[in-house]
């Protein structure tokens, strides 16, 4: 027997309808690419998104077509997303931090028909546009006054382009399983892989993301997504923020500490989210200027492991709650968030920080398990490491145009490629990427634990640990350090600081100081490059190969 409830497809543009109707006056504030800070609201965003939809339809864009965006977080970019999905086309966010050849590969693989581009990226595109045959036209996200001399195919300023329609348009109707968005993962090997979200998965994920034990946002909040819209579906903030009707602050192209600080305080931002490197910059800036964060209540930090020092400084010095989070592009992207369940709520000080180093527990809609290499489920004791596997309605079941990728297991679990522990209360802690974990004498050493420990040293800005070949143990840890500007330290200082805080056999065999650690386009440490650089490194006490 079927239920007798209405069939109300979970379509993404219903979110902006809701925001416009019930929170229409709520502000959307943008640091524009042209310079000034500009304000609009949800009612206007919806009206203009309808124009985008109408104008796209006029350009012949239809259900299932891919429309790329190469753009920062701005109100125009948000309107473009809702306009694209409102006719059943697919927003395809392209990460401008990728190498130009990767952008060419991704756009051709997705067969994007149009591209919205910010002024910042026009020069980059001009160099590669002749290699993008599927793109029929470029819309530059600006007005006529700021439009550069056009060399891109059929290019037009966004404001002129939407001015050609009147907005008297209705969203198209289609099934909730229709594809809505696309984001390629920046794998460290091989070609990037396309993740294809549906309307249903994005709407369900927005509900999950907004829950009190997830981001916990409400209409009274002022939300600033510092995480770019081109990174992992913007951690759902482009959907969950209008869904709850919170004020939205879009930081545009300026991500430096001072610019972020200005927006946080001027607009009384209460909630924000980004990767650890952004917060490191902000905290360093605050240390210099003596700035305070009186309005900020909560910051979600994820994308890579959040160093203990960041959590501690936010909480103890600035009174801001840190929620550590883990996710993946393939998971829309939220997997777990580290909010305090009653079992841990009484903890304070270092004991609370110990828990906050974990990546947390999943909201409803994410199932999780850890297994050994043979697929056997491992215990949840907070100590046993295993391959982390997940499933749920916002988890990918395949990559775009790839058949039978083994990460999508037959029984419906997705193998994340992460190695983790899960404790008795269901808190997951990432110990490594499966390919980065150091195998020493048949046992595993977590590189992330060692990195977290090393960055706790007051002179260390960034740390990376890699495995280096060892004749007796197979691999041993090498600690690579970038010191804070103007600081000096020795190997003995660093190892002395770590001594006693980790198992003796986990202690790095050596420390090297470098000027810079390489990062991927999404801000993760590029261990493959580091391993390559140190592949012939001879650890102390080891005879160099002939």
Give me the residues that bind ligand AMP (CB under 6 A), please.
Answer: 185-186, 232, 302-305, 324-329, 333, 359, 416-418, 430, 433, 522
Of the chain, the end-to-end C-alpha distance in Å amounts to 76
**439: annotated active-site residue:** yes
Q: Which residue, 31 or 358, is less far from ligand AMP as judged by CB?
A: 358
Q: Which of 120, 444, 484, 524 is catalytic?
A: 444
Compute the least distance from the CB of residue 530 to ligand AMP, in Å. 16
DSSP string over 480-500: EEEEPTT----HHHHHHHHTT
**Three-state secondary structure call for residue 450:** helix
Compute the least distance from the CB of residue 520 to ligand AMP, in Å. 8
Question: What's the Rg (C-alpha) of the chain?
Answer: 24
φ, ψ (nearest 5 deg) of residue 339: -95, 160
Q: Which residue, 178 or 416, is less far from ligand AMP as judged by CB?
A: 416
The single-letter DSSP state of residue 280 is H
Instruction: Supply 35's token pair.
Output: 């310079």
Compute the least distance from the CB of residue 93 to ligand AMP, in Å. 12
Please identify which residue in the block is written with the tokens 């997997």.
335
Q: Which residue, 354 or 487, is less far from ligand AMP as judged by CB?
A: 354
**Rounded distance, CA 171 to CA 176, Å?**
13
**161: annotated active-site residue:** no
Q: Which residue, 182 or 325, is less far from ligand AMP as judged by CB?
A: 325
Compute the least distance from the CB of residue 216 to ligand AMP, in Å. 17
Compute the least distance from the CB of residue 324 to ligand AMP, in Å. 6
**330: annotated active-site residue:** yes
Q: Which residue, 189 or 543, is less far from ligand AMP as judged by CB?
A: 189
Compute the least distance from the CB of residue 299 to ligand AMP, in Å. 13
Q: Which of 79, 159, 176, 330 is catalytic?
A: 330
Q: Which residue, 181 or 303, is less far from ligand AMP as judged by CB?
A: 303
Which residue is closest to ligand AMP by CB?
Answer: 329
The vertex-528 CA angle with 523 and 533, nearest 5°, equals 110
Measured CA distances, 263 to 37, 256, 258, 331 (Å): 10, 11, 9, 29
Compute the half-sphere exposure of residue 333: CA atoms within 13 Å on the CB side of its CA.
27
**81: annotated active-site residue:** no
Is omega for the bond preceding 333 within 30 degrees of 0, making it cis?
Answer: yes
Q: Which of 185, 371, 502, 529 is catalytic?
A: 185
Please name the residue ranges forming H helices in 290-369: 308-312, 318, 342-345, 349-356
Mark residue 385 as left, alpha or beta (left: phi above 0; alpha: psi -120 to 50; beta: remaining): beta
**Active site (catalytic) residues:** 185, 330, 439, 444
């Amino acid at each position: 027997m079927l239920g007798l409830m209405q069939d109300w497809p979970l379509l993404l543009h219903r979110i902006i309808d809701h925001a416009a109707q019930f929170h229409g006056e709520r502000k959307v504030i943008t640091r524009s690419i042209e310079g000034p800070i500009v304000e609009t609201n949800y009612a206007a965003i919806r009206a203009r998104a309808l124009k985008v939809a109408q104008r796209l339809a006029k350009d012949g864009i239809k259900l299932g077509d891919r429309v790329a965006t190469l753009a920062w977080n701005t109100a125009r970019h948000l309107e473009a997303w809702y306009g694209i999905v409102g006719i059943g086309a697919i927003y395809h966010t392209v990460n401008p931090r990728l190498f130009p050849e990767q952008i060419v590969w991704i756009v051709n693989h997705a067969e994007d028909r149009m591209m919205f581009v910010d002024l910042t990226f026009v020069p980059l595109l001009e160099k590669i546009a002749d290699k993008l045959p599927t793109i029929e036209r470029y819309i530059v996200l600006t007005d006529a006054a700021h439009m550069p001399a056009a060399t891109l195919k059929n290019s037009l300023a966004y404001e002129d382009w939407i001015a050609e329609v009147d907005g008297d348009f209705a969203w198209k109707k289609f099934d909730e399983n229709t594809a809505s968005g696309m984001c390629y993962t920046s794998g460290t090997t091989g070609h990037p892989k396309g993740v294809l979200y549906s309307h249903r998965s994005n709407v369900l994920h927005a509900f999950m993301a907004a829950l009190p034990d997830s981001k916990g946002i409400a209409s009274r909040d002022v939300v600033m997504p510092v995480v770019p819209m081109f990174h992992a579906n913007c951690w759902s903030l482009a959907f969950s923020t209008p869904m709850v009707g919170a004020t939205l602050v879009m930081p545009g192209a300026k991500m430096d500490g001072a610019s972020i600080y200005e927006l946080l305080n001027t607009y009384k931002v209460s909630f924000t989210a980004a990767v650890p490197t952004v917060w490191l910059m902000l905290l360093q800036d605050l240390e210099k200027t003596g700035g305070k964060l009186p309005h900020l209540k909560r910051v979600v930090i994820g994308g890579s492991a959040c160093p203990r020092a960041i959590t501690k400084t936010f909480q103890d010095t600035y009174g801001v709650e840190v929620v550590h989070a883990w996710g993946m592009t393939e998971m829309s992207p939220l997997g777990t968030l580290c909010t305090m369940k009653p079992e841990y709520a009484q903890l304070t000080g270092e004991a609370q920080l110990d828990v906050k180093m974990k990546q947390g527990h999943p909201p409803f809609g994410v199932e999780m398990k850890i297994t050994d290499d043979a697929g056997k489920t491992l215990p949840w004791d907070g100590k046993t490491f295993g391959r982390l596997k997940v499933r749920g309605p916002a988890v990918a079941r395949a990559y775009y145009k790839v058949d039978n990728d083994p990460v999508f297991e037959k029984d419906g679990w997705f193998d994340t490629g992460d190695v983790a522990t899960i404790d008795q209360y269901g808190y997951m802690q990432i110990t490594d990427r499966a390919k980065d974990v150091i195998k020493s004498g048949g046992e595993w050493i977590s590189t992330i634990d060692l990195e977290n420990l090393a960055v706790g040293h007051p002179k260390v800005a960034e740390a990376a640990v890699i495995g280096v070949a060892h004749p007796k143990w197979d691999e041993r840890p090498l600690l690579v350090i970038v010191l804070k500007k103007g600081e000096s330290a020795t190997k003995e200082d660093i190892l002395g600081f770590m001594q006693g805080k980790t198992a003796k056999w986990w202690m790095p065999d050596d420390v090297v100081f470098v000027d810079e650690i390489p990062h991927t386009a999404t801000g993760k440490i590029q261990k493959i490059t580091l391993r390559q650089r140190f592949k012939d490194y001879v650890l102390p006490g080891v005879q160099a190969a002939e």
